[in-house]
Amino acid sequence: MNVFFEESGSFKAGTVLNRQGDAFQVELPGGRRAKVRSKDVLIEFDSPSAADLIQQADAAAKEIDLDFLWEISPPDEFRFTDLANDYFGGTPDPVQKSALVLCMHGSPIYFRRKGRGQYQRAPEEQLKMALAALERRRQQAIVQQQYEDELKAGRLPAAFDGKVLGLLTRADKNAIEYKALEAAALALGKSAAQLMLDVGGIPSARALHEARFLSEYFPHGTGFPALNAGPLPEDLGEAIGVQAFSVDDVTTTEIDDAFSVQRLSDGRARIGIHIAAPALGIERGDAVDAIARARLSTVYMPGDKITMLPDDFVGTFTLKEGGLRPALSLYLIIDTATQDIVMTETVAERVHVVSNLRHNVLDEIITEQTLEAGTGDYPHKDEIAVLWPFAKALYERRQQARIGYGLRREVPRNIDYNFYVDGEHVSITPRRRGSPLDLIVAELAILANSRWGAFLHEHGVPGIYRAQRAFGPNRTRMQTTPAPHEGLGVAQYAWSTSPLRRYVDLVNQWQLLACVRHGITAKLAAPFKPKDADLYAIVQNFDETYTAYADHQRRMEHFWCLRWLKQEQRDRVVGTIVKDDVVRLEEVPLLLHVPGLGVQARGTRVLLEVMAIDELRVEASCRLIEVLDVARVTGGDETSEDAETALDTDSGTDLEAAAGDDVQALGDASNAPAQPDNAQPDAGAAVRGDVTHTRNDGEVAQ
């Protein structure tokens, strides 16, 4: 005897070996034996064989007219044998009964299972809806196959127009376009992105990289709502006699800092460090603050930037030449003979900015030699003559502090790179670092951030600080209490000099203004009180977002370096070994992994062949052609030795340009160091590398 039974939701047939009580010992056609309870047995039969029954029942089930079967079935629950009698007429054989069970069980939109061998037909309305859905899916499957065939043939389906970037970033994986794209890419052995690039779905790899970043961090777009800057405080006084000037690249628009010098009697001078003051027109919690807090920083990339604040606000508060500008000023009375700081004062005021000086115009004119000789003709010559020795003195004092922390002196950086993008064409131009103007801007910014950090602490007002230990894990961190920044050689360091483009600086400026206005009661009036949980949230969110922005900038700079290699048809390039198999190219700020270098000393120059460039993956394949110059290894190579213990720093030096043991993090944003104010050197910048990156608008990588 044979039985047709249900096991684990499927139907099987087997030969009964014996029966004990209400259970059968059954042997299946494949030889497996199973114990089957009698309640699971639907049909007992002698012929055909168990294997033939399943085969014949499967074939017969496909011949059953489901619509007719549904029409003749009773509206209430029924047993399959009763419906089999009505459908087949007379007494159906085991094959017909089994076929009916298989058919109903496999058609849940027509029949619903109510127990072993028990079924009920679906209500008519639900059946119609289910059949309509099936027809829609069938039609979609036809369209999907058409899309897939077109993509395989190298054509972009018309329905993909305007949807491609969405499919590659935040796609609906149930959409037929996405399914067709994935199937076609799999069949062709390509990535979906490469397929879209090949068929013209995206204009370039650049568009995809930018779209991926925007979809994650700016899903609602990069535009701003219509907002107006609030009125400035009526008691905001004018800085009498101050003639301020800024020093930036020619394309900089967010001018945060400017300087002034007034000579006093007895060999003293009054130096002003003037910082743009958007905090005077933005209140915590207002609409502009909500935008700035959501963005947290201006995003820079070659060829473009996404500002933290609306253009109208930037235009109102940037320190543009030709008028009075609201500013938070740090005044220093110095002894010009000893370069000692005699007194400091912080003032909120309106400052007359008379000049916006530009590096690309003056760096060749204002040199150490011309300053020492007092020669040359350039704007603000007398003021710069005061600032230059003061900046050198500040630098030397920081070096002594670094030595006290167990660090070496900073090794000055040599080169910046400016990226200028026109459509899909890029120009990458080097700019020498270490000019007197660089040093002046850097040292005064470091001084302001350090002094204002102390100013907040003296008034008991919390701020956002960057602290750094010279050695050990978690060396650089952001916190709300002051601590030494050993890499910079300062007792505390609170970002405060870039409030137009960094939210942390805006927060600190609010706190500083409270100190200026309220004095000893500042901690009661400051927007953020001691132990304010919201301040901790800002620190955490800023750190994560700022790192992501920096990673995007590095990735796009890497992309444009690869584009430059293709554009200039450089199939052979010269580079310098940084460490192990990592090589830094000489003409553009790009680090590459080159296998097969063998054991080479750091600093060895090599000639490489560029074999392939993948702009989508932002990778290049190179091989060694020739060793050009073998570096001499000496015990006094500070750069090489310090590179081994490179600090995770606030430097303007790109991680990918670092010459230290962070090179293994090439392309890994999680290890990216945060970076400080415009043109500021940091301990790690000096120690780890000799290359920095500037954005297309001339502002140093933040």
* Residue type (1 letter), 513: L
Chain centroid to Cα 614, Å, comes to 20
When pLDDT is cut at 50, 70 and 90, the band that residue 524 belongs to is very high
What would the mean pLDDT of 392-398 be, rounded to a whole number?
Answer: 95
Chain centroid to Cα 35, Å, comes to 59
Phi then psi dihedrals of residue 192, to 5 deg: -60, -40
Q: Taken in order 534, 535, 536, 537, is the CA torsion positive or negative?
A: positive
Domains of the chain in start order, with CATH, are: 2-122 (no CATH), 126-202 (no CATH), 554-657 (2.40.50.640)
In a 3-state reduction of DSSP, which class is residue 7?
A: strand
Quote the strand ranges of 548-675, DSSP E: 572-579, 582-585, 591-593, 605-614, 619-629
The predicted pLDDT at position 473 comes to 60
Phi then psi dihedrals of residue 350, to 5 deg: -105, 130
In a 3-state reduction of DSSP, which class is residue 63?
A: coil
Mean pLDDT of the residues in the chain:
85
Q: Is the pLDDT of residue 696 over 50?
A: no
pLDDT tens, position by position, 142-188: 999 999 999 999 999 998 888 888 889 888 888 899 999 999 999 99
Q: Is the pLDDT of residue 240 over 80?
A: yes
Q: Is the pLDDT of residue 365 over 80?
A: yes
The more confidently predicted of residues 271 and 432 is 271
pTM: 0.77
* Residue 308 near residue 296 (C-beta atoms within 8 A): yes
Q: Is the pLDDT of residue 273 over 80?
A: yes
The predicted pLDDT at position 541 comes to 92
* Residue 534 near residue 468 (C-beta atoms within 8 A): no
Q: Note the helical H segments in 218-298.
A: 287-295
pLDDT tens, position by position, 32-57: 999 999 998 999 999 999 999 999 99
What would the mean pLDDT of 532-545 be, rounded to a whole number?
Answer: 92
Q: Is the pLDDT of residue 637 over 80?
A: no
When pLDDT is cut at 50, 70 and 90, the band that residue 662 belongs to is very low
* Residue 491 near residue 449 (C-beta atoms within 8 A): no
When pLDDT is cut at 50, 70 and 90, the band that residue 579 belongs to is confident
The predicted pLDDT at position 472 comes to 64
Chain centroid to Cα 411, Å, comes to 30
Closest CA to 613 of 577, 570, 652, 660: 570
Question: How many other β-carbons are positioned within 10 Å of the β-carbon of residue 465?
Answer: 25
What would the mean pLDDT of 574-580 be, rounded to a whole number?
Answer: 90
Angle at Cα 322 formed by Cα 320 and Cα 327, nearest 5°?
50
What would the mean pLDDT of 247-258 be, rounded to a whole number?
Answer: 87
Phi then psi dihedrals of residue 307, to 5 deg: -75, 150
C-alpha span between 346 and 332 (Å, rounded): 9
Task: Measure the N-to-C terminal CA separation of the chain; round to a whole number of Å.
Answer: 83
The mean-pLDDT minimum among 233-237, 295-299, 358-362, 663-667 falls in: 663-667
The predicted pLDDT at position 672 comes to 30
Cross-strand partners of 502: 297
What would the mean pLDDT of 383-392 be, rounded to a whole number?
Answer: 94
What would the mean pLDDT of 318-333 be, rounded to a whole number?
Answer: 94
- Give the Å distances, CA to CA, from 349 to 1, 95, 183, 279, 346: 103, 97, 64, 12, 10
The predicted pLDDT at position 656 comes to 26
The predicted pLDDT at position 474 comes to 62
The predicted pLDDT at position 653 comes to 29
pLDDT tens, position by position, 406-465: 888 887 767 888 888 988 899 988 877 778 999 999 999 999 999 999 999 999 999 999
C-alpha span between 310 and 292 (Å, rounded): 9
The mean-pLDDT minimum among 70-74, 413-417, 495-499, 644-648 falls in: 644-648
C-alpha span between 319 and 254 (Å, rounded): 8
